[in-house]
Amino acid sequence: MNSPGAVAFVSEVEGRVTGFIIGRQVADEAEVLNLAVAPMARRKGQGGALLKTVLEEFRMLSVRRVYLEVRESNMIARTFYAKHGFSQTGKRLKYYRKPEEAAIVMEMRLAG
Ligand SMILES: CC(C)(COP(=O)(O)OP(=O)(O)OC[C@H]1O[C@@H](n2cnc3c(N)ncnc32)[C@H](O)[C@@H]1OP(=O)(O)O)[C@@H](O)C(=O)NCCC(=O)NCCS
């Protein structure tokens, strides 16, 4: 979070952190580095709220293109990101370890 361009938000329920998102902006591009919602708190819109908040922050920072990598087998996250306007633009073989797996690259354009 101390690195240049880092943007991070948490979601809370009754004062306890139940989700977080971390992104990084470099010039007019930004990456979603990590997003997670606690299992008990999922499917209630928190992930969507975190993503919308970080996208709004990126928009204010004049970002035009946002991208991310997600494990190929993580269909929940791929569906989630697609619902929020991301489309698949590439695939990186052997990107993840333990277990080894390809990354699906997804991206979206932000309106100016
Ligand atoms: C991906 C993740 C952050 C979504 O968080 P969430 O708070 O459950 O998401 P939301 O409630 O905002 O869901 C928004 C939409 O995503 C899709 N979605 C979310 N969970 C889903 C599931 N289990 N099955 C199918 N679609 C799902 C749905 O389209 C959902 O809309 P709907 O509930 O109206 O159908 C959460 O599942 C998570 O923490 N997963 C583990 C970590 C991870 O994979 N992170 C992403 C990779 S970096």
Element (H, E) at 12: strand 6-13
- pLDDT tens for each residue of the chain, 112 residues long: 788 899 999 999 999 999 999 999 999 999 999 999 999 999 999 999 999 999 999 999 999 999 999 999 999 999 999 999 999 999 999 999 999 999 999 999 998 6
Is residue 80 in contact with ligand 1, taking CB distance under 6 Å?
Answer: yes
For the chain, which residues make up each domain, given as ranges? 6-109
CATH superfamily of 6-109: Gcn5-related N-acetyltransferase (GNAT) (3.40.630.30)
Q: How many angstroms separate the alpha carbon of residue 104 from the centre of ligand 1? A: 16
Dihedral of alpha carbons 67, 106, 108, 47, sign? negative
pTM of the model: 0.96
Does the beta carbon of 73 sit less than 6 angstroms from any atom of ligand 1? no
